[in-house]
């Protein structure tokens, strides 16, 4: 069972990479390419961090999270965060809905939605070419990723926003271990609840 879950998660991750890779230079306008040249990897990382900060700020009640790994390519990078609050199966749709509404309100295009009951995910793209992903993995753990478009190469510092719980950067991230009376609840949602986004 765990192997099947791992394979499903790996498949979802690969699909996410394909979606994010699709946010590259192909199909971009001349003005997009000009703006790309005026941003370096550090500035792109800060933009990714601001997207994540704003997204987490829209989630009510607040969830506990930690920084994930930053990975860099030849001209792009990805910032990640893992949610340490358990998101129950009954609340996953509501959690994704809060984030989706906020992303739409922020002008991001929703490019794909995985409606799998156990491992749902949502993918989006910002007008300036950043790829966004929210996926639910094992034990109801939510993972966020923001992938940058291709930008000028530069050194990249770590995120400056402090995690609102233990910071697991540089080591393995454990399964979610924070139980919230709302997000971890096994009860169904009433209409109109689940965040203010």
* More confident of the two residues 13 and 44: 44
For the chain, domains (ranges, CATH) are 2-147 (3.30.2030)
Among 30-39, 135-144, 188-197, name the one with the lowest average pLDDT.
188-197
Q: What is the rounded CA–CA span in Å between residue 67 and residue 52?
A: 10
Which of 65, 11, 79, 73 has the alpha carbon at shortest distance from 173?
Answer: 65
Residue predicted with more confidence, 53 or 8: 53
Tokens of 149: 């478009």
What is the rounded average pLDDT of the residues 47-51? Answer: 98
Any idea what DSSP says for residue 72? E
Average pLDDT over residues 161-174: 92
Structure tokens at 3: 């192997």
SS3 assignment, position 14: helix
Q: Work out the percent of the chain whose per-residue pLDDT is above 70.
A: 76
**What are the tens digits of pLDDT across the range 114-136?**
999 889 999 999 999 999 999 99
Assess whether pLDDT exceeds 70 at residue 94: yes
The residue whose two tokens read 């001349």 is 30
């Amino acid at each position: 069972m765990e192997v099947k879950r791992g394979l499903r998660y790996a498949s979802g991750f690969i699909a996410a990479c394909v979606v994010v890779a699709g946010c590259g230079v192909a199909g971009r306008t001349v003005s997009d390419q000009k703006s790309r040249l005026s941003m370096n990897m550090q500035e792109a990382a800060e933009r990714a961090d601001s997207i994540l900060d704003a997204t987490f700020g829209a989630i009510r009640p607040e969830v506990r999270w930690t920084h994930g790994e930053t990975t860099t390519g030849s001209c792009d990078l990805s910032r990640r965060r893992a949610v340490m609050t358990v998101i129950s199966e009954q609340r996953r749709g509501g959690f994704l809905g809060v984030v989706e509404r906020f992303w739409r309100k922020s002008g991001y295009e929703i490019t794909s939605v995985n409606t799998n009951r156990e491992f749902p995910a949502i993918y989006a793209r910002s007008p300036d070419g950043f790829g966004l992903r929210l996926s639910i993995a094992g034990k109801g753990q939510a993972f966020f990723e923001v992938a940058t478009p291709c930008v000028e190469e530069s050194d990249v510092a770590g995120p400056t926003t402090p995690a609102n719980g233990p910071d697991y950067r540089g080591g393995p991230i454990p399964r979610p271990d924070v139980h919230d009376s709302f997000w971890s609840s096994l009860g169904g949602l009433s209409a109109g609840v689940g965040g203010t986004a």
